[in-house]
Amino acid sequence: MTDQEVYQAIQESTNAVFTTMLHLEISPKQPGEETDPQPLNGVMALLGFTGEWVGTGILYCREQFACRLGSAMLMTEITEVTNDVLDGVGEMANMVMGNVKDRLEPLVGTLAMSIPTVVYGRNFHTRTTAQPKWWVYPFGVGPDSFEIRLCLTHKKTP
Amino acid sequence: MPVNVLIIDDSAVMRKILERSVRQARMQIGNVVEASDGVEALKRLGEAGDGIGLIFCDVNMPNMDGLEFLKQVKDADFRKVPVVMVTTEGTEAKVMQALSLGAAGYIRKPFTAEQMQEVLGRLFP
């Protein structure tokens, strides 16, 4: 599995979910790798993958865009991070990662996916023990932005 | 005659989106009952008796997932109620698994209004 294949899977999946579900046009930015995640502020939805390959997929955004997502999904104005907003970000992550999973399975074999967990806070770190390298794909949506992050590594045999 | 719908999804937001989508699909919808997993859904079905005419069910849920719920419904008194599976996972294997367990349809998230109309139009021509 090449970096390009991963980036393509993320871009196509993210674009499909945002345009179909929310009718939001997104602008892909320059993707890259991250090995030393910096402290973050905002909302992060995480889903685990397991199979021959294991890892984690993340949708990360700031509070303002999380509220915009929640507002678009529920068709109502939301100005603060509520449970509905966290639920909405989790569901968007679920849909994006479900699509990514379908696109990567021909390359990495069958993957099972967890239900989403959503974290909201300030100055928090993420760390994974399985794989230090994250693929990070930033997207712009008008004045806002969000990131899709993925780490996936081949499971070591005992 | 309006159809009462049971929507099963662990995401409250997704339940609202599904309800809105079904109501927009030009179908006569009566009451909408919600459940957050298969266990709660079986309870709601028992309470509603034969009042539920259509079920939308997420696949990936805690406690009892959608496929297990589907098995239990098809073994129970509600086997004639059409169950449409709703999931992010659209691989052919998953679709075939759900259909072989008795699902009446399969819709993949994210879905368009046209896709929802197509599924409902097939079940309620």
Average pLDDT score over chain A: 92
Residue B124 has pLDDT above 60, yes or no: yes
**Cβ proximity of B32 and B19 under 8 Å:** yes
Interior angle at CA B87, CA A80 and CA B26, nearest 5: 80
Q: State yes or no: pLDDT of A104 exceeds 90.
A: yes
Contacts of A83 in chain B (CB under 8 A): 12
Closest approach of B49 to chain A, Cα-based (Å): 30
Q: Could you tell me which residues come within 8 angstroms of residue A85 by beta carbon, excluding any fewer than 6 positions away?
A: A43, A66, A67, A69, A70, A78
pLDDT value for A133: 86
- Sequence-separated (6 or more) residues with CB below 8 Å from residue A31: A7, A10, A11, A135, A136, A137, A138
Burial (CB < 10 A; 0-12, 13-18, 19+), residue A139, is: buried
Contact A87 B12 (CB under 8 A): yes
Highest mean pLDDT among A19-23, A64-68, B78-82, B87-91: A64-68
Determine, for residues B13 and A70 on separate chains, whether the beta-carbon distance falls below 8 Å: yes
**Which pair of tokens denotes residue B25?**
């699909």
Q: What is the mean pLDDT of residues B87-96?
A: 76
Domain boundaries A3-27+41-141+148-153, corresponding CATH code: 3.40.1550.10
> Among all residues of chain A, which has the CA nearest to that of B94?
A102
Strands (E), A52-154: 53-61, 111-113, 117-124, 134-141, 144-154
Q: Which of A50, A73, A78, A81 to mutate to test the interface with B (most CBs of B within 10 A)?
A: A73
- The residue length of chain A stands at 158
Task: Determine the Cα angle at B121 with ends B50 and A96, to 5°.
Answer: 95
- The whole-angstrom separation of Cα B39 and Cα A3 is 41
The pLDDT value recorded for residue B1 is 81
| More confident: A36 or B98 | B98
Work out the pLDDT band at A130, boundaries 50, 70, 90.
low
When pLDDT is cut at 50, 70 and 90, the band that residue B90 belongs to is: low
Per-residue pLDDT tens over the stretch B1-39: 889 999 999 999 999 999 989 988 867 888 999 999 999
pLDDT at A81 over 70: yes
Distance separating alpha carbons of residues A98 and A87, to the nearest angstrom: 16
A135, A141, A142, A143 alpha-carbon torsion, rounded to 10°: -60
Residues within 8 A of B (CB atoms), A 89-128 only: 90-91, 94-95, 97-99, 101-102, 105, 113, 115
> How many whole angstroms separate alpha carbon B4 and alpha carbon B64?
22
Residue reference for tokens 């929640």? A70
d(CA B18, CA B107): 11
